[in-house]
Structure 1
Amino acid sequence: MTAERFNEHRDLMIGVAYRILGSAADAEDVVQEAWLRWSEIDPAEVGNPRAYLVRVTTNLAIDRLRKVKSLRETYVGPWLPEPIITAPDVAEQAEVADSVELALLVVLETLSPLERAVFVLREAFGFSHAEIAEMIGRGEPAVRQLARRARDHVRERRPRFDVDRARRREVTERFIGAATGGDLDGLMAMLAAEVTLVGDGGGKARAPLRILEGSRNVAAFLAAIATEDGVIRFLQSIGAPLTADIDMEITDVNGGPGVVLSAEGRVITVISLVISGGLIETVYLIANPDKIARLSGPPADEEA
């Protein structure tokens, strides 16, 4: 019965922890620690297991985020959240898909751990201010202030993007065709003038160590890595066989169309685009093997 009650809420706990931490691996660790705490108590004494487990998960996630933030400051190159493969039915649920968008998770990185937790609980999961206050051990007025500050911060910095999935997929398909074909003019036509490319190799895979800005710079980089020499250098950077064939698939990444590149069955790069007005505003390129190794598994659960 103890395990059964815990598993009833596991997807919710994973979802909360992932959105607070931006890391599926860290979210799993937090939920495992929550299980250890749950297994040490008598569930019959807990009046509301859901609220109790979310409270434990949230506080563990806040503590972990405070510890890892300092590590992210010394990260090699830009730090991006760990991407997840989401099932198509998740992507069709706007409120679920929006709350795991990579662009949103990037903005959430600029919040304090407490602000981020409050934002996630309130905006993504609809907990009341009173419920959140009890979960994080703060007064309700303080929670309301944290929620307002976080919401305003996100609203100011979150990029706007096209919500039409068919349109986003069509642009993604054209983007891949132009990039793999070395079509520099075609790429330029798809990129907003102030487009940025954020690459996360973590010092373990080939990716820009600085954010690239401007359509010409971004297009030139993408066209270069799509050449045979570029592919070879990339395979060398991740230790893959130089003879490996690279498979490319458009799938649901963090609630929207994304590109997953694989070599010999192993995911080696994930690309996610922020598309607005039919033009690409941001390219997220995640190649750090520590962040994408999990993507070779099954789709993430609905709440994740």
Structure 2
Amino acid sequence: MSTQSGPADGPLDPGLSAITSERRQLINLGYRLLGSLADAEDVVQETYVRWYAMSAEQRDAIDSPGAWLTKVAGRICLDLLRSARVRRERYVGAWIPEPLPDRTEWISGRPGGGAVDPADRVTLDESVNMAFLVVLEAMTPAERVAFILHDVFRYPFAEVAEIVGRSPAACRQLASSARRRMRASQAPVAAGTHAAPRADVVRDFKRAWEAQDIDALIGLLDPDVTAIADGGGLAQAALLPVDGGEQVARYLVDLSARAVGMTVLERTVNGQPGVVVQQDGVTVAVLALDVVGDRIHRIWAVRNPEKLRPWTAPGGGPTW
């Protein structure tokens, strides 16, 4: 997506650099609120459309363009979150937030395969951890917006209130409720966990999966592990979660046995160690892994090709 900055044949907006510099911040906000890079891009596009729909005099009267853009983007996201609940009731199987690669690993973020604009890359930190995003999905739209704006982006509750349409006190309560949900789920609220031990577990998981070693996989999986797949009706995936260490291990081995030419690669997924499954050089699945101690506690496997655009060009894949 390239954001239009104004009429092509007109003079450059003197405040253009200040306006376009907000784009990455808006992309980051939109992804955390919506769990979808594509939706975040649409929100940013619509936000800029509304900015340039105003007259030059109206834009000049705005003291803080960045605050105005954030307010508009936040309100658009809030509306989308409210409608998303209805859309996801019709979604085929489980809905998992769109996985993101490391900043150095982006391949294509465009349906047509165009290059990714650096301003569209999401900053990876604990607030895009898959476990964190999945808990956000269970929140009400108002809770999610209040929590992300205040706790992640550090907006004061007075400004959050203008976006959510509630009082600052009510927004404070919303954020507090969201924090309780995070603590109850044990999802990280802030950075601070160490990646090295997780990487070792993920490396051993990759080797055991490639070797189709059920016993080794069982040893790496928490006895109460849950694996959830998202095919979105566009790729075959288990419609229901697979629970239990032995059951998940056998499921993974069965997949690799049926997927001819499958390659498993260690990659950064949403800022943490994960794995990517390729067939004939094409990414067909991205697995985000929640490692607790020295065991894998949860697996989120994204197969929906529409959610894999930042990872690869469109292609076929194994039957899962």
Q: Shorter-normalised TM-score: what interval?
A: 0.7 to 0.9
Q: What is aligned with 2:62?
A: 46
Q: What is aligned with 1:129?
A: 157
Question: What is the alpha-carbon distance in structure 1 between the residues aligned to residue 289 and residue 271 of structure 2?
Answer: 12
* Greater helix proportion: 1
Question: What is the alpha-carbon distance in structure 2 between the residues aligned to residue 265 and residue 36 of structure 1?
Answer: 38
Contact 1:184 1:220 in 2 (8 A): yes
Question: What is the alpha-carbon distance in structure 2 between the residues aligned to residue 73 and residue 148 of structure 1?
Answer: 27
Q: What is aligned with 2:10?
A: none
Matched, 1:164 2:194: yes
User: C-alpha deviations, 1:4-32, integer Å up to 9, x for none?
Assistant: 33211001101111111111111111110
Residue 46 of structure 1: CA displacement?
A: 1.3
Q: Which piece of structure 1 moves more, 175-184 or 204-213? A: 204-213
Q: Which piece of structure 1 moves more, 197-206 or 152-161? A: 152-161
Question: What is the alpha-carbon distance in structure 2 between the residues aligned to residue 289 and residue 141 of structure 1?
Answer: 42
Contact 2:206 2:266 in 1 (8 A): no
Runs of 4+ displaced beyond 6 Å: none
Q: Which piece of structure 1 moves more, 267-276 or 34-43? A: 34-43
Q: SS of the counterpart of 1:121?
A: helix
Question: What is the alpha-carbon distance in structure 1 between the residues aligned to residue 78 and residue 25 of structure 2?
Answer: 16
Question: What is the alpha-carbon distance in structure 2 between the residues aligned to residue 190 and residue 215 of structure 1?
Answer: 8
Q: SS of the counterpart of 2:310?
A: helix
Q: What is aligned with 1:174?
A: 204
Higher RCO (C-alpha under 8 Å, 6+ residues apart): 1
Contact 2:96 2:134 in 1 (8 A): yes
Question: What is the alpha-carbon distance in structure 1 between the residues aligned to residue 285 and residue 233 of structure 2?
Answer: 14
Aligned residue runs from structure 1 range 84-123, under 5 A: 84-87=100-103, 97-123=125-151
What amino acid sits opposite 1:10 in the alignment?
R
Matched, 1:4 2:26: no
After superposition, the Cα gap between the structure-2 partners of 1:160 and 1:222, relative to the gap in structure 1 and judged at 3 Å, is: farther
Question: What is the alpha-carbon distance in structure 1 between the residues aligned to residue 167 and residue 143 of structure 2?
Answer: 14
TM-score (norm: length of structure 2):
0.82
Q: SS of the counterpart of 2:238?
A: coil
Residue 246 of structure 1: CA displacement?
A: 4.1
User: C-alpha deviations, 1:159-196, integer Å up to 9, x for none?
Assistant: 46992211111111110110111100000000111011
User: C-alpha deviations, 1:218-244, integer Å up to 9, x for none?
Assistant: 0000111111xx105xxxxxxxxxxxx
Question: What is the alpha-carbon distance in structure 2 between the residues aligned to residue 278 and residue 226 of structure 1?
Answer: 23
Question: What is the alpha-carbon distance in structure 2 between the residues aligned to residue 11 and residue 53 of structure 1?
Answer: 12
What amino acid sits opposite 2:206 in the alignment?
I
Q: Which piece of structure 1 moves more, 287-296 or 48-57? A: 287-296
Q: Which piece of structure 1 moves more, 259-268 or 154-163? A: 154-163
Question: What is the alpha-carbon distance in structure 1 between the residues aligned to residue 60 and residue 176 of structure 2?
Answer: 36
Size of the aligned set, in residue pairs, is: 278
Gaps of 5+ in 2: 1-12, 105-122, 314-320
What amino acid sits opposite 1:102 in the alignment?
M
Q: Which piece of structure 1 moves more, 197-206 or 288-297? A: 288-297
User: C-alpha deviations, 1:69-106, integer Å up to 9, x for none?
Assistant: 21111211111001111327xxxxxx951100111111
Contact 1:200 1:207 in 2 (8 A): yes
Q: What is aligned with 1:192?
A: 222
Q: 1:206 aligns with which of 205, 216, 236?
A: 236
TM-score (norm: length of structure 1):
0.86
Q: What is aligned with 2:276?
A: 260
Q: What is aligned with 1:235?
A: none
Question: What is the alpha-carbon distance in structure 2 between the residues aligned to residue 265 and residue 63 of structure 1?
Answer: 39
User: C-alpha deviations, 1:123-180, integer Å up to 9, x for none?
Assistant: 2111111121123332111111111111112221244699221111111111011011
Contact 2:146 2:171 in 1 (8 A): yes
After superposition, the Cα gap between the structure-2 partners of 1:293 and 1:265, relative to the gap in structure 1 and judged at 3 Å, is: farther
Q: What is aligned with 1:34?
A: 47
Matched, 1:79 2:88: no
Contact 1:261 1:269 in 2 (8 A): yes
Q: SS of the counterpart of 1:178?
A: helix
Q: 1:225 aligns with which of 244, 255, 268?
A: 255
Gaps of 5+ in 1: 89-94, 233-244, 298-304
